[in-house]
Amino acid sequence: SQKIEQNSEALNIQEGKTATLTCNYTNYSPAYLQWYRQDPGRGPVFLLLIRENEKEKRKERLKVTFDTTLKQSLFHITASQPADSATYLCALDMWDYGGSQGNLIFGKGTKLSVKP
Amino acid sequence: KAGVTQTPRYLIKTRGQQVTLSCSPISGHRSVSWYQQTPGQGLQFLFEYFSETQRNKGNFPGRFSGRQFSNSRSEMNVSTLELGDSALYLCASSLTGPGANVLTFGAGSRLTVL
Closest CB from A34, A41, A106 relative to B43: A106
Contact between A20 and A74 under an 8 Å Cβ cutoff? The reply is: yes
Return the DSSP state at A29: P
For residue B33, the chain A residue with the least C-alpha distance is: A103
Mutate to test the interface with A, among B91, B103, B111 (most CBs of A within 10 A): B103
Q: Given this model, what pLDDT does residue A2 score? A: 65
Return the beta strands (E) in chain A as ranges.
4-6, 10-14, 19-25, 32-38, 45-51, 56-59, 62-67, 72-77, 86-94, 103-106, 110-115
Q: How confident is the model over A90-110, as pLDDT tens digits?
A: 998 765 444 334 578 899 999
Q: Given this model, what pLDDT does residue A34 score? A: 92
Q: Given this model, what pLDDT does residue B63 score? A: 97
Q: State how far residue B79 is from chain A, nearest Cα, in angstroms.
A: 24
Q: Is A31 in contact with B99 (Cβ distance < 8 A)?
A: yes
For residue A34, the chain B residue with the least C-alpha distance is: B102
Intra-chain end-to-end CA distance of chain B, in Å: 37
The verdict on B99 touching A (C-beta cutoff 8 Å) is yes
Mean pLDDT of B26-41: 92
Q: Is residue B52 scored above 80 in pLDDT? A: yes
Q: Is residue B11 scored above 60 in pLDDT? A: yes
Q: State how far residue A39 is from chain B, nearest Cα, in angstroms.
A: 10
For B39, the 3-state DSSP assignment is coil
Q: How many contacts, defined by CB atoms under 8 Å, are there between A and B?
A: 70
Q: Given this model, what pLDDT does residue B1 score? A: 66
Q: State how far residue A57 is from chain B, nearest Cα, in angstroms.
A: 15
Q: How confident is the model over A14-65, as pLDDT tens digits?
A: 999 999 999 998 877 777 889 999 999 899 999 999 988 898 999 999 999 9
The verdict on A5 touching B (C-beta cutoff 8 Å) is no
Quickly count: other Cβ atoms within 10 Å of residue B61's Cβ.
11
Q: How confident is the model over B54-101, as pLDDT tens digits?
A: 988 888 999 999 999 999 999 999 999 999 999 999 999 988 776 667
Q: Given this model, what pLDDT does residue A1 score? A: 63
C-alpha span between B41 and A85 (Å, rounded): 21
Q: State how far residue A107 is from chain B, nearest Cα, in angstroms.
A: 7
